Chain A
Amino acid sequence: IDLTSHIIKVYLTLKVENLGTSPASEVHLAFSPAEAEHLAIVKAAATSGKRKKKTYIPLDVKSAELPDGPNGTKFFTVTLLTPLNKGETATLEVLYILTHSLEPFPVEITQSESQLVYFRDSAILLSPYHVKEQTTFIKTPSTRVESFTVVDPAKRAGTELKYGPYEDQPPYSYSPVLVHFENNNPFAVVEELEREIEISHWGNVQVTERYRLVHAGARHKGAFSRVEYQTRPDATGVSSFKHLLAKLPPRVHSVYYRDEIGNVSTSNLRTDYRKSELEFQPRYPLFGGWKSTFVIGYGLPLQDFLFESPDGRRYLNFTFGCPLTQTVVDKLILKVVLPEGSKDPTAVIPFQVDQHLEIKYSYLDVIGRTVVVLEKSNVVPEHNVPFQVYYTFNPIFMLAEPLMLSIAIFLFFVASVSYLHADLSIRK
């Protein structure tokens, strides 16, 4: 269990053996209700080979219902590549990510204190199966651990806590542990992120991202002293953050960073041929509980993202998720604004999202543009995977707007000419 940031990563290495008689093709993973609520993603992979030559084959993970689970336990099912026959074993690597699972305590801290958090889990893996042997390692960001529940055998060395090995636990055993430790990493949470990707067939993809950022760590209490913050940056406001980093696609251009009341001048863009990095500062350093809203926008060359599929449809290939590093997005709304006149949009995403369509009116639109809206809650950096939106589009629509403009100007000139030549006076 990796607790170094506020996004908790849990790596499970499972060695499963089929003790039953019939071949088993599925392995169930169990999560307690609290975990299930904060679960962002579950990934599983089958491993084969030894140490360095380990290969990972991603496996299918689905949420499932099991009748015999104790109160409120949620299940996920991992489908194995090949069913396990009796007595066979397989090694699985499971990664799941929890968000909002570190509870700051004390809840409010002053500027000079550092942030302490609670982490609750079970020393023993919750599982519908009989567990023969299990060890839990917990990695903390610093050596400062205030307290931890001792479930023998447990020991602490440096930044690592070791629980176990525990042997022969019955199904659904649970042994709560509580770790109280220091975590001064930025608890940057985007409460809502709205990404709008607007495709123009004139060669540009315009991305606008509206953030509502909050520091979700321990709340700031008492005064904020600028003297302290300026003169002793190491000792004060350690849990606050003022820099954010956004990873943008390469060949990004016309990047802007602003908020409701205007442009924010503190940002820095680095570009190279593989990626672009936008380093920026909110208007003020964010302490616990402080909020900030801002907008980042940029343009991208169309040919990098828009392709034509073999059946003649066009598709946009873009990255899902939030470009900010090390942030959790509570609610992500992704809008793909297709050009005016495009039809039959379908989105292909590797995981479950809510979808619906909208109409948006932009410059010189008559019938409006179709907008594919994708919504997903609890998004972590692991969700930054490509997705596709397919649609059909007739290039003749590209000419509609220039034509409208030219006709308007032409009519204006005609009107001027006729005005100059006409005699409108009543008297002769």
Chain B
Amino acid sequence: MAASSKPGSPRPPPSSSSSMAQDLFNNFSFSKTLKLKTKQQELLIRVTVLTLIYILAFITRLFSVLRYESMIHEFDPYFNYRTTLYLTKNGFAEFWNWFDSESWYPLGRIIGGTLYPGLMLTAAALYWVLRFLRFAVHIREVCVLTAPFFASNTTLVAYFFGKEIWDSGAGIVAAALIAICPGYISRSVAGSYDNEGVAIFALLLTFYLFVKAVNTGSLAWALASAFGYFYMVSAWGGYVFIINLVPLYVLVLLVTGRYSLRLYVAYNCMYVVGMLLAMQIRFVGFQHVQSGEHMAAMGVFFLLQVFFFLDWVRHLLSDAKLFEAFLRITVTGAVSVGAIALGVGTASGYISPWTGRFYSLLDPTYAKDHIPIIASVSEHQPTAWSSFMFDFHILLILFPAGLYFCFKRLSDATIFIVMYGLTSMYFAGVMVRLILVATPAVCLISAIAVSATVKNLTRLVRSQSQAVQSGSSKGASTAKSSSKGVIDNSQPFQRNGAILLLLGAFYLLTRYAIHCTWVTSEAYSSPSIVLAARGAHGNRVIFDDYREAYFWLRQNTPPDAKVMSWWDYGYQITAMGNRTVIVDNNTWNNTHIATVGRAMSSYEDEAYEIMRSLDVDYVLVVFGGVTGYSSDDINKFLWMVRIGGGVFPVIKEPDYLVNGEYRVDKGAAPKMLNCLMYKLSYYRFGELTTEYGKPPGFDRARGVEIGNKDIKLEYLEEAFTTQNWIVRIYKVKPPKNRW
């Protein structure tokens, strides 16, 4: 019965519930006229709901296009966009062998060997397919819409995954939850053309296919999951999570005595084929056999062989005692061989130790002490409690409930999702950006909670009402309609309680949908290139200074000009300004970044020497003193000092602080008031009155009057300053004639 299956199946978020209701209505009329079979009706509803969720996932991510325009967001996406453009223009071979001389001047960067090409190839493939079908789209539009498209696909995977671990109802709820979950939307709005956009799809797909392979023991599914893994490796560095979680899962199954031939087939096939495929990505190369992060997978692989071998021996040996002795010998032998191999490999340098990023994942305090460049990125900070609430909302409450249901009905699949959920939640706590990885697990587990609860409740409601009005089962379709017809009831409290709880669940899900939509439209749809503010009369003021500056660079500087800026803006300058940069967001060379940090924090004459040695023609700084834009270079300056000081001990952080306090007004440290960054930011700012009733040179971002208003530049000259002063570009003067 189509109708009765409805409450058990999923209630997609209320934003689509009206259309859902309409579909249901349509379905009634359909079923009356066409006399569809129950199974067909159910299929029809499921397909319709899934289609609606698919569309919803796509359109909810279009807020950014509506609010702003179809543009690439943030920092890294600009690099991805630039490489995609190169790929579509020059073809794959050129792309793969691309040596980019426009970044990391004078070192350059081998693009093909230092990126995950999955995203670019995906977008280029989409572009070529569309072109072939004669859709004259621009590559930018394809890039902008890649993330929403893959988010839509993720909902489908979530459906199948949910179906695999629980039932199709949970699948549909999972699809609906993940379609609008802010944790995922934050990285997949239109324009957010980043690796994560496709990687979450690949991640979930790999997991789903692997679980399917474990459940069925089918070689085909295992192979499919290997290919899913390959796609994931090609798309994002987060594949390390898969290659560690899957072995961990296998290990747990072994320990809990759930070892089966299905598991053996699934893991071996997935690991071997996946590893071989992953080696084809140049950036990954031989890491699967050489890097400490991948050793767990290999260890589990061998362990599985030993396990299988032992199983086989036990099968042959009938004597239990003999087997026990054999077991002891084999296990000790295997463990010692493994330990020796690992020890020798590590000692000889064949197996590289864990990288700093990996350490910082396991230990949240590691980066702070050892790698300032990782710690300086805001998305690498430990997650605040509020951002969990912000990104997950009710899922945070549903998650433990879902875990309870999972433990109640333990199976290979639920063990997997529980492990995925728990580990990723830990990582989400360590780093803000990893909330993204946790989101699918949280959605799936919460979906189990919602689905199981609603199903139980409706069963309760339905069994009662059916007893009363046995004939018209269709009237009992929803809790509401059935509540009227019932007068006499054996367990009135239970039934009413169930209805109440259903309404409560409905209310919660409504709140969730409202929250998600609000978050998406308000928080996650800003491109961060264009800043919008409310004017005095409530009108929308747009600060388009970044693009103004980049476009100025693009048009009015020599094509081979080298631009020095803090690394945050490197990708944008190369992509939008089309000029060579010294450092960019691919922070592969810490010394180079430290050199720039040193130049920024030195006196002008010292900095001039450094800039001459780096061939710098222009210096770009971001300054928010006029508009009150707080993420500018002065506020990032301490990180420049720290990173610069980490390599060059001449730069000492206390020189820039007064009693451990960072300030830019009259009381600031003398070195601070005369360093290059300060001078470039505040050059001639002392003449400007920014706010009525305040002295000239009042810095609105920090709310103080600046300390050094009389700034003279000797080796640089102002080349361009944008309308709202957000970006200031200086030209490095050529050296003076000596005589």
Q: Would A284 and B720 count as touching, CB distance under 8 A?
A: yes
> By CB atoms of chain A within 10 A, which of B135, B530, B552 has the most?
B552
**Taking the nearest CB of chain A, how far is it from the CB of B273, in angstroms?**
23
- A366 CB–B CB distance under 8 Å: yes
Q: Would B134 and A365 count as touching, CB distance under 8 A?
A: yes
- B136 CB–A CB distance under 8 Å: yes
- B164 CB–A CB distance under 8 Å: no
Indicate which residue in A226, A362, A365 contacts B725 across the interface (CB closer than 8 Å): A226
Q: Would A284 and B544 count as touching, CB distance under 8 A?
A: no
Q: Would A227 and B134 count as touching, CB distance under 8 A?
A: no
Cα–Cα distance between A365 and B721 once the two chains are bound (Å): 46
Report chain A residues within 8 Å CB of B688. 227, 230-231
Could you give, for residues 126-137 of chain B, a 1 whenever the CB lies within 8 Å of some chain A CB and a 0 otherwise?
000000001110
- A156 CB–B CB distance under 8 Å: no
Could you give, for residues 101-126 of chain A, a 1 whenever the CB lies within 8 Å of some chain B CB and a 0 otherwise?
00000000000000000000000000
Report chain B residues within 8 Å CB of A226. 684, 718, 721-723, 725
By beta carbon, the residue of chain B nearest A230 is: B688
Interface residues on A, range: 20 to 34
Q: Would A223 and B722 count as touching, CB distance under 8 A?
A: no
Cα–Cα distance between A231 and B689 once the two chains are bound (Å): 10
Q: Would A284 and B69 count as touching, CB distance under 8 A?
A: no
List residues 246-268 of chain B with CB under 8 A from any CB of chain A: none
Q: Would A225 and B136 count as touching, CB distance under 8 A?
A: no
Q: Would B134 and A291 count as touching, CB distance under 8 A?
A: no
List residues 515-532 of chain B with CB under 8 A from any CB of chain A: 529-530
By beta carbon, the residue of chain A nearest B135 is: A363
- A361 CB–B CB distance under 8 Å: yes
Report chain A residues within 8 Å CB of B731. 223
Of the candidate stretches A80-88, A247-255, A257-265, A386-394, the one touching chain B is A257-265
List residues 249-285 of chain A with CB under 8 A from any CB of chain B: 259-266, 283-284
Indicate which residue in B69, B555, B687, B725 contacts A291 across the interface (CB closer than 8 Å): B555
By beta carbon, the residue of chain B nearest A227 is: B684
- B317 CB–A CB distance under 8 Å: no
Q: Total number of A-B contacts with CB less than 8 angstroms?
A: 77
Known contacts: A223-B719, A290-B555. The answer to whether A265 contacts B542 by CB under 8 A is yes
Q: Would B717 and A223 count as touching, CB distance under 8 A?
A: yes
**Taking the nearest CB of chain B, how far is it from the CB of A11, in angstroms?**
37
The binding surface of chain A is classed by DSSP as loop
Cα–Cα distance between A361 and B43 once the two chains are bound (Å): 41
Q: Would B720 and A261 count as touching, CB distance under 8 A?
A: no
Q: Would A283 and B552 count as touching, CB distance under 8 A?
A: yes
Interface residues on B, range: 20 to 34
Could you give, for residues 519-561 of chain B, a 1 whenever the CB lies within 8 Å of some chain A CB and a 0 otherwise?
0000000000110000000000010100110111011100000
By beta carbon, the residue of chain A nearest B575 is: A261
Known contacts: A283-B552, A284-B552, A291-B555. The answer to whether A264 contacts B544 by CB under 8 A is yes
By beta carbon, the residue of chain B nearest A222 is: B717
Q: Would B69 and A227 count as touching, CB distance under 8 A?
A: no
Report chain A residues within 8 Å CB of B69. 262-263
- B351 CB–A CB distance under 8 Å: no
Cα–Cα distance between A259 and B721 once the two chains are bound (Å): 20
Indicate which residue in A262, A291, A292, A362 contacts B547 across the interface (CB closer than 8 Å): A262
**Taking the nearest CB of chain A, how far is it from the CB of B716, in angstroms?**
9
Report chain B residues within 8 Å CB of A227. 684, 687-688
- B71 CB–A CB distance under 8 Å: yes
Report chain A residues within 8 Å CB of B684. 225-227
Cα–Cα distance between A283 and B720 once the two chains are bound (Å): 12
Could you give, for residues 355-392 of chain A, a 1 whenever the CB lies within 8 Å of some chain B CB and a 0 otherwise?
00000011111100000000000000000000000000
25 contacts between A and B (CB under 8 A): A222-B717, A223-B718, A223-B731, A224-B718, A224-B721, A225-B718, A226-B718, A226-B722, A259-B551, A262-B530, A265-B530, A266-B544, A283-B547, A283-B551, A284-B548, A284-B552, A284-B722, A293-B555, A361-B136, A363-B134, A363-B135, A364-B134, A364-B135, A365-B134, A366-B134
User: CB within 8 Å of B: which residues of A?
Assistant: 222-227, 230-231, 259-266, 283-284, 289-293, 361-366, 420
Seed contacts A290-B556, A291-B555; 18 additional CB < 8 Å A-B pairs: A223-B731, A224-B719, A225-B718, A226-B718, A259-B551, A262-B71, A262-B529, A262-B530, A262-B547, A264-B544, A283-B547, A283-B551, A292-B555, A293-B555, A361-B134, A361-B136, A362-B136, A363-B136
Nearest 4 CB-CB pairs, A to B?
Answer: A226-B721, A223-B717, A283-B548, A291-B555
